[in-house]
Chains A and B, each alone.
Chain A
Amino acid sequence: DAGVIQSPRHEVTEMGQEVTLRCKPISGHNSLFWYRQTMMRGLELLIYFNNNVPIDDSGMPEDRFSAKMPNASFSTLKIQPSEPRDSAVYFCASSLEGLGGLGYTFGSGTRLTVV
């Protein structure tokens, strides 16, 4: 398996533009997590899905953020409109939940810069 695949690796966009980040989890994993990492706030959980269903989106900072998981092999995180304070590294992770003791596999992240 190629692991968790995120695209793009880097994104530079202007303030006000829509940004879409993509994630392909490991085949067979049934849970998917979106994290944001910044120097100031560390690693923050934004939202997670179990079996494609959003379970907890309380970490999503504002209504400008939305996430979808239309099927087991694909998820998107969208920011519309983007702002400079959204600049961060966004990670996607997947796992096989239900067994409790398994950890997560992380993607390489998308570095977002909003200018």
Chain B
Amino acid sequence: AQSVAQPEDQVNVAEGNPLTVKCTYSVSGNPYLFWYVQYPNRGLQFLLKYITGDNLVKGSYGFEAEFNKSQTSFHLKKPSALVSDSALYFCAVRDSGSGNTPLVFGKGTRLSVIA
């Protein structure tokens, strides 16, 4: 079975400080990992993904994520947070060998960047 955990419901960070939103996953094979962002009254938007290759993945809006196989983690990071980064962030996973089974989404982490 596939699962993903976002251990923090809420993350608060001061503008200009680095931010981290945590995600851990469980799959039986190799994972495909995704981060999505949801702004108020909007649908989820794709940020970045890890399929294979470099463990450090760069995405939209200056975000990046590091795939750590030994810790089964895919934490989202940004060196310097902006107030406009305040949103709901979702991690998602799929087992690469699972065919067309749907992505499994975490419960989301609300990021609040304070000016």
Contacts and interface: CB of A to CB of B under 8 A. Distances in A.
Interface of A: 4, 31, 33, 42-43, 45, 48, 50, 55-56, 91, 93, 97-98, 100-101, 103-109, 111
Interface string B87-115: 00010101010011011010110000000
Contacts, number: 53
Interface residue tally on B, bucketed by range: 20 to 34
A104 B103 contact: yes
Pick from A97, A104, A109 the residue with the most CB of B within 10 Å.
A104
A16 B74 CA distance: 44
Given A43-B108, A101-B32, A101-B51, A108 B42 contact: yes
A100 B32 contact: yes
Interface of B: 32, 34, 36, 41-46, 49, 51, 90, 92, 94, 96, 99-100, 102-103, 105, 107-108
A33 B102 contact: yes
